[in-house]
Structure 1
Amino acid sequence: MADSENVESHGERMQFVEEKEDGMDNEHRCQSQKCKISLSIFFIAIIAIAVVLGIIFGTRRTPNTDDGNMQPDKIKEAIYLKSEETYELTSPGYPANYPDMSREYWIIVVPENYRVRIEFIDMRTEYKYDMVRIGSSNETEVDYIASFNGYDLPPVITSTGNALWVQLFSDSVSTESGFHAMVKAVHDSDAVFRCSAGEKSCKYVEECYNESHSCDGSYTCISGHDEIGCACSNPFFFKCSDGRCLERTRTCDGIVDCSDDEHNCGFECDNGIYSISHAFLCDGINDCTDYTDEQDCECTGEKWQCPNGPCIYRNNVCDDYPHCPGGEDEADCSCKSWQFECPNDGVCIPYWQRCDGNDTCGDGSDEQDCPECPDKLYQCDSFQCLAVEKVCNGHKDCFTGDDEADCANKTIPSCPAEEFSCGGKCLRPSLVCDGVRQCKGGADEDNCTQESGSEMPDTTNCTSCSSGECIGLEARCDGNADCASGEDEEGCSTEVTPTSSPCPEGKDVCTSDMSCIPTSRFCNGIRDCPMREDEDSCTETTDSCSDLDDNSYFVCDGKEDCANGADEHCTCGTKPAKAAKILGGRLADQKGAWPWQVLLTESNSTQGVHCGGSIINKNWIITAAHCINSQSVGVIYVLAGVTDRTDIHPDIQYRGISQVVQHPNVSKGGFDVAMARVTEPFTYNALVQPVCLAEEDIELTPGEYLTVTGWGATGGGFDGIQLMEARLPIIPPHICNKWSKFTTSVLEARIICAGYERGLQSACYGDSGGPAVVQREGKWTIIGTVSGGSTCGTPYTPNLFTRLSFYHAWIRSVIQEN
């Protein structure tokens, strides 16, 4: 969670995928046909390069990993070229797909006074997640050049010394066919490239850039050489010495993204788990997740000094909640934290009326000190900063689309004649009609004739759907619709014979969904099977409602089983455990501070953070649809009673997921809500309680504060150790529409928008699905779940929450029907 308030300290949101690098036992080997130069000449150089590469591509830091295989990867292959010699380099298996979790390294070494030139003929890698990295090396220098992924061909690259390294890095999800490149040893004199007057030469490539391209927010040079000395437009970015601006989450992660993002990473956080860059100390952002990096710092910038106490965020001053030990932050407040005070008459106006082009205060004060994009970036009406090349390029990059307005007299970039154009994207001919949809809508694969002799999918070991998709035979009649139209569940027999019953001893099967329930629940007057088959054909029925017990499995499960709903007269939205506050910057025990918050993990442990969620009754949690689906059963686990993820105590309740119900319109977008039934009812206690559901007619007013909680990523990109909370003001839909890509009608009906103009506090990766709550009549009510937003914690980038009151009837129907 981007800096919010820590439930056990001060502190910050969305989904998070944890990467893990497995050590590969690749060997150093020499291509015998290329070894014309004595190995003894290069032995010392190769050893030195190998050592340095081991540092550059070090292991990603992950919390509490016990795999025992987190070792630096080794060089796969050392290739020696003699003068003017050419070598053909391809990824493993090319043109077939490279393996997942690839960690392949090549070093190409040429004689002294020569350089290595690499030209790519083909490049096909999974966009964003798999990549090819290139660096220029010799025994005294290691230069990181750039990373490439997707299908676009990299430019021709030439090393600065007599060695160059190439790495193929892939995750475990999807692979493509990889790359095909020609590598050549060229003499120093042939590597000289001269630019015209008024231009400067890019490093590593035979390209020049005009001074007008310096500090324009985009890399004319692949190494970012034209952006050296320029400012980054985002406070959560790290400025590399080679000109690049990186999200700070990409620093000190063991993967080189620029010349110095892996330097000075030795600051150890007090939690003993994370290390960060010294560059992030005392910058007001909670990179360590426990505020170690923000201790003993001056209260400057976005911080406010509590008298005889800690620094707090200016956002938290006058927000109707005391954050200082003596509550001084809530004294002498003339305006709320989300308001701007006009200096001439003391009138308070909403912050979103600042810098909107209207003189609301009457003296121009609310139109002063407005955001300005640095250097030569284009400023959108929404305060986004764009590279000038994105202006009038046929694509609306500003939320309000003002970058594409008044373009009559401007030149719109076009593709070369030999390339295919779609939506501002240029494709080389080999990518058209190759079976992969590169253009939005698949225009590059339209009007393609199928090659004769192409084979239809083999359906011998799968079930074919009407859409053409082939699913495993085991998915047929398993109670889950795996085909888009659900035909894999049609014509299934509901008869269950004793020999085919999937239930263990002491349980019987519900024939409608093949679930197992205790035999004692049959004929007890309570419907447990979806079609009530457990209460049909009973010769005698027990009246379970005659003597209700709070511990009865059907009490407080959200479904009215007894007359007048007596079994659902339950308490919600309370905190049995009194939450302590932060005193003098010290952490205090706050177990049970938000007892409905659950942790969704893939490991059934507190080590990883997949998403958040909320308990709404003993059997059901609610979360975001992008967090779970039908495939989450048996894969995602629900943990309740957790506050500090390092505190593994016996009161933590571990549950699996037996059923997932996504909103039926989730595929249309904007219906980001899902419910999950746990395998065993929660036991309510001081640490585990349900939250109250918002009614359909609940009213929310702009400026009202909501509280969002979660273990999501902090400034440094690490998952939170302690559960964190952020108190945010609700923003009007028409204002949020200006700062997001949603339309006002969608926002008002299905989304809640909240946040500060200054940013810093927000939900972030890993907080997705977690609760946004408000107090109503002394009880905490869930009004939304974390859904999305722009870059965590940046100014004018609001948090978006799924508005649960819109889905109230659907939520109730899911509980009643299941």
Structure 2
Amino acid sequence: MQTTDTTYDNVSHVNHGFQHEEQRPSPYAPSSGINPILPQYPGPQNPQYVLQNSPQPYFSERYSPGQSLDQYTPQTAPVNTHHTVTPGLYLDVNPVHKAASRRKKWPFILCIVITLLVVAGVIAAVLWFYGEFDCFQGRRCKTDNKCVSFSQWCDGEQNCPSGDDEAHCYRLYGSNSLLQMYSRVNQKWENVCSDGWSDNLGMQACEEMGYERNTYVGYEKINSRASSDYMLVKTDSPSSFNLTSFLSRSSDCPSNKAVALKCIDCGRNNGRRIVGGTTVTSKGVWPWQVSLQISGNHLCGGSVITPYWIITAAHCVQEFSNARDWTVYAGYLTRAEMGLATGNSVNRIVMHNFDPRTNENDIALMKLNRPLTITSDVMPVCLPNKGMYFAAPRECYVTGWGALFSGGPASQTLQEAKIQLIDRTTCNSRAVYNGRITDTMICAGKLEGGVDSCQGDSGGPLVIKENSLWWLVGDTSWGDGCAFRNKPGVYGNVTYFLDWIHEQMRRY
């Protein structure tokens, strides 16, 4: 975590996120021996013929270094290196005749090309008709490509072998956490009317999104401005215990109040920050920050999102994918404290489809063997909801035990830095990252440099405060150096991955 006021222009360092045994890669310095040294042939001794700014001549058996150029006479005619003609072969070439011949062939070649394109188009149309048209009124399952009609999605019955059609039927929307259900009738998300709602239904809805029943907090009734329909609790008792069977689409909500659901107590911090400080001195300030270690060495940061689940960066676990190698430390400020603690073992690592060439999809999840005990020092951060928009230049914070300067050692004490979001257009400009920022990433930092995340901060949280709660908007991913001018930090876009996160929590 670099928080000095020094501005750097040197971008020779690449933020590699972490290095094993706390070592950081050294700068890539240009090597004087990067080009191979070729043997040098001495020129003729007497006289010397040297061409200025030209390489040494090649000496063949037809010419020796001791022979003067005046005495040297080539034994054969110079070779035409562009068009070699076999000796004795007679060619009667008429350029005018050849040009006319070429012109006659062009229509024929063009006709063949057009015919091939037409045939390819017909084949593609047939394949599309028989492969896609039969699913025009539905969607395909991920695993076996089975076509399931729209009316069967989110109907309470599993039609896809892997349950894809029932996996994303509920979501929380906006900073008020409005509960919404996907309507299979009009293929839209609808608010859930609070009439007839209960905590038991609330627990079931939270479970559908991957949360544990024992983390459930409750629900509120808030005024709804929905211009479309609602999902309303049925008055008759369904025979099934599936939550979907309790709800039906309705054009009216008598109370005009919708359900706002709280599946977990999150985003609250209890410590006191030092204004302008960079070293965290109170454990409760960032209670979701964890250290991910192998054999007692801090490699990456992470964020607590439930007592069982940790979010980190995929590049942290790509080469260390064995869950048994990792230990998670939560509720500590210094690495010295962690050295005396036991930590929490990891049961499972779930990595997204990470591309190390482009750094796309740089997010991963760790599930612990035992749940963390939630205290004032250990608290989940809130996952952002759909419909929450954090626009530049919004103020945000990044934390971790990363290096204090590019290429330096990891910090012994938790550090924090106040930075701001940078819009994607600016970050993709030629002067910054020249088009390398995709939808799976967000930029944050200061274009003038001086404050940034650094090696060892990877996987750690980028958080924003809204409605008195802290929301996880990014996981530290990559950057060119640390705190260099026009090279801000790049973070995994957590909002982009929401469906994937809830799917893994629900599955495992």
TM-score, normalised via structure 2 length: 0.50
**5+ residue gaps, structure 1:** 6-12, 21-59, 63-127, 134-144, 158-194, 199-206, 208-485, 487-544
Instruction: Supply the AA of the counterpart residue of 2:435.
Output: T
Instruction: Supply the AA of the counterpart residue of 1:17.
Output: Q
Can you list the C-alpha shifts for 1:726-769, whole angstroms capped at 9, x where unaligned?
A: 1112112111001444638x53x322112212211111111111
Find the counterpart in structure 2 of residue 505 from structure 1: none
2:412 pairs with 1:718? no
Which secondary structure does the structure 2 equivalent of 1:806 belong to? helix
Find the counterpart in structure 1 of residue 67 from structure 2: none
Which secondary structure does the structure 2 equivalent of 1:638 belong to? strand
- Residue identity over aligned pairs, in percent, reads 27
Note the C-alpha offset of 1:773.
0.2
Are residues 681 and 731 of structure 1, via their aligned partners in 2, closer, same or farther at CA, if it must alter by over 3 Å? same
Find the counterpart in structure 2 of residue 783 from structure 1: 473
Can you list the C-alpha shifts for 1:544-592, whole angstroms capped at 9, x where unaligned?
A: x99x9xxx9862299xx99899997421011133445578x9x783222
Instruction: Supply the AA of the counterpart residue of 1:573.
Output: G
- 1:329-340 → structure 2 map (5 Å cutoff): none
Residues 598 and 615 of structure 1 are in contact (CA less than 8 Å); yes or no, is this contact kept in structure 2? yes
Q: Of 300, 304, 328, which residue of structure 2 is paired with 1:611?
A: 300
**Inter-partner Cα distance in structure 1 for 2:354 and 2:291:** 25
**Inter-partner Cα distance in structure 2 for 1:626 and 1:665:** 8
Find the counterpart in structure 2 of residue 600 from structure 1: 292
Find the counterpart in structure 2 of residue 576 from structure 1: 270
2:427 pairs with 1:736? yes
Note the C-alpha offset of 1:699.
0.8
Residues 432 and 486 of structure 2 are in contact (CA less than 8 Å); yes or no, is this contact kept in structure 1? no
Residues 640 and 653 of structure 1 are in contact (CA less than 8 Å); yes or no, is this contact kept in structure 2? no
Which secondary structure does the structure 1 equivalent of 2:343 belong to? strand
Residues 327 and 343 of structure 2 are in contact (CA less than 8 Å); yes or no, is this contact kept in structure 1? yes
2:314 pairs with 1:625? yes
Can you list the C-alpha shifts for 1:316-338, whole angstroms capped at 9, x where unaligned?
A: xxxxxxxxxxxxxxxxxxxxxxx
Can you list the C-alpha shifts for 1:778-800, whole angstroms capped at 9, x where unaligned?
A: 01000011111111111010211
Instruction: Supply the AA of the counterpart residue of 1:556.
Output: T
Are residues 574 and 649 of structure 1, via their aligned partners in 2, closer, same or farther at CA, if it must alter by over 3 Å? farther
Residues 783 and 804 of structure 1 are in contact (CA less than 8 Å); yes or no, is this contact kept in structure 2? yes
Find the counterpart in structure 1 of residue 376 from structure 2: 686
Note the C-alpha offset of 1:665.
6.0
Find the counterpart in structure 1 of residue 418 from structure 2: 727
Residues 383 and 472 of structure 2 are in contact (CA less than 8 Å); yes or no, is this contact kept in structure 1? yes
2:348 pairs with 1:656? no
Note the C-alpha offset of 1:632.
3.0
Which secondary structure does the structure 1 equivalent of 2:471 belong to? strand
Find the counterpart in structure 2 of residue 262 from structure 1: none
Find the counterpart in structure 2 of residue 16 from structure 1: 18
**Inter-partner Cα distance in structure 1 for 2:416 and 2:214:** 31
**Inter-partner Cα distance in structure 2 for 1:742 and 1:621:** 32
Can you list the C-alpha shifts for 1:353-372, whole angstroms capped at 9, x where unaligned?
A: xxxxxxxxxxxxxxxxxxxx
Instruction: Supply the AA of the counterpart residue of 2:214.
Output: V
Instruction: Supply the AA of the counterpart residue of 1:727.
Output: K
2:494 pairs with 1:804? yes
Can you list the C-alpha shifts for 1:651-693, whole angstroms capped at 9, x where unaligned?
A: x561122111112465785111111101211111121110000
Are residues 765 and 567 of structure 1, via their aligned partners in 2, closer, same or farther at CA, if it must alter by over 3 Å? same
Instruction: Supply the AA of the counterpart residue of 2:3.
Output: D
Are residues 791 and 816 of structure 1, via their aligned partners in 2, closer, same or farther at CA, if it must alter by over 3 Å? same
Instruction: Supply the AA of the counterpart residue of 2:499.
Output: A
Are residues 147 and 568 of structure 1, via their aligned partners in 2, closer, same or farther at CA, if it must alter by over 3 Å? farther
Instruction: Supply the AA of the counterpart residue of 2:302.
Output: G
Residues 2 and 793 of structure 1 are in contact (CA less than 8 Å); yes or no, is this contact kept in structure 2? yes
Are residues 146 and 673 of structure 1, via their aligned partners in 2, closer, same or farther at CA, if it must alter by over 3 Å? closer
**Inter-partner Cα distance in structure 2 for 1:612 and 1:781:** 17
Residues 613 and 771 of structure 1 are in contact (CA less than 8 Å); yes or no, is this contact kept in structure 2? yes
Find the counterpart in structure 1 of residue 196 from structure 2: none
Residues 280 and 333 of structure 2 are in contact (CA less than 8 Å); yes or no, is this contact kept in structure 1? no
**Inter-partner Cα distance in structure 1 for 2:260 and 2:392:** 37
Residues 611 and 766 of structure 1 are in contact (CA less than 8 Å); yes or no, is this contact kept in structure 2? yes
**Inter-partner Cα distance in structure 2 for 1:689 and 1:594:** 8
**5+ residue gaps, structure 2:** 6-14, 40-49, 57-142, 144-199, 204-210, 218-240, 247-258
Are residues 771 and 4 of structure 1, via their aligned partners in 2, closer, same or farther at CA, if it must alter by over 3 Å? farther
Q: Of 214, 234, 254, which residue of structure 2 is paired with 1:555?
A: 214
**Inter-partner Cα distance in structure 1 for 2:452 and 2:271:** 25
**Inter-partner Cα distance in structure 2 for 1:648 and 1:19:** 16
Are residues 735 and 779 of structure 1, via their aligned partners in 2, closer, same or farther at CA, if it must alter by over 3 Å? same
- 1:283-298 → structure 2 map (5 Å cutoff): none
Residues 459 and 477 of structure 2 are in contact (CA less than 8 Å); yes or no, is this contact kept in structure 1? yes
Find the counterpart in structure 2 of residue 817 from structure 1: 507
Which secondary structure does the structure 2 equivalent of 1:813 belong to? helix
Residues 601 and 637 of structure 1 are in contact (CA less than 8 Å); yes or no, is this contact kept in structure 2? yes
**Inter-partner Cα distance in structure 1 for 2:322 and 2:32:** 33
Instruction: Supply the AA of the counterpart residue of 1:810.
Output: W
Note the C-alpha offset of 1:593.
1.6
**Inter-partner Cα distance in structure 2 for 1:771 and 1:760:** 19
Residues 14 and 767 of structure 1 are in contact (CA less than 8 Å); yes or no, is this contact kept in structure 2? no
Find the counterpart in structure 2 of residue 224 from structure 1: none
Are residues 557 and 797 of structure 1, via their aligned partners in 2, closer, same or farther at CA, if it must alter by over 3 Å? farther
TM-score, normalised via structure 1 length: 0.32
Are residues 655 and 588 of structure 1, via their aligned partners in 2, closer, same or farther at CA, if it must alter by over 3 Å? closer
Are residues 602 and 732 of structure 1, via their aligned partners in 2, closer, same or farther at CA, if it must alter by over 3 Å? same
Instruction: Supply the AA of the counterpart residue of 1:15.
Output: G
**Inter-partner Cα distance in structure 1 for 2:479 and 2:329:** 26
Residues 623 and 673 of structure 1 are in contact (CA less than 8 Å); yes or no, is this contact kept in structure 2? yes
- 1:338-737 → structure 2 map (5 Å cutoff): 555-556=214-215, 569-580=263-274, 589-603=281-295, 605=296, 608-629=297-318, 631-648=321-338, 654-664=343-353, 666=355, 669-715=359-405, 717-737=408-428
Note the C-alpha offset of 1:155.
3.6
Residues 280 and 415 of structure 2 are in contact (CA less than 8 Å); yes or no, is this contact kept in structure 1? no
- 1:68-79 → structure 2 map (5 Å cutoff): none
Note the C-alpha offset of 1:609.
2.2
**Alignment root-mean-square deviation, CA:** 4.5
Instruction: Supply the AA of the counterpart residue of 2:18.
Output: F
- 1:84-103 → structure 2 map (5 Å cutoff): none
Which protein is bigger by CA-based radius of gyration?
2
- Greater relative contact order structure (CA < 8 Å, 6+ sep): 2
Find the counterpart in structure 2 of residue 473 from structure 1: none
Which secondary structure does the structure 2 equivalent of 1:631 belong to? coil
Residues 763 and 799 of structure 1 are in contact (CA less than 8 Å); yes or no, is this contact kept in structure 2? yes
**Inter-partner Cα distance in structure 2 for 1:557 and 1:657:** 24
Can you list the C-alpha shifts for 1:597-618, whole angstroms capped at 9, x where unaligned?
A: 0111112x3xx22111100001
Note the C-alpha offset of 1:628.
1.2
Note the C-alpha offset of 1:197.
11
Residues 290 and 328 of structure 2 are in contact (CA less than 8 Å); yes or no, is this contact kept in structure 1? yes
**Inter-partner Cα distance in structure 2 for 1:767 and 1:648:** 17
Structure with the largest fraction of helix: 2
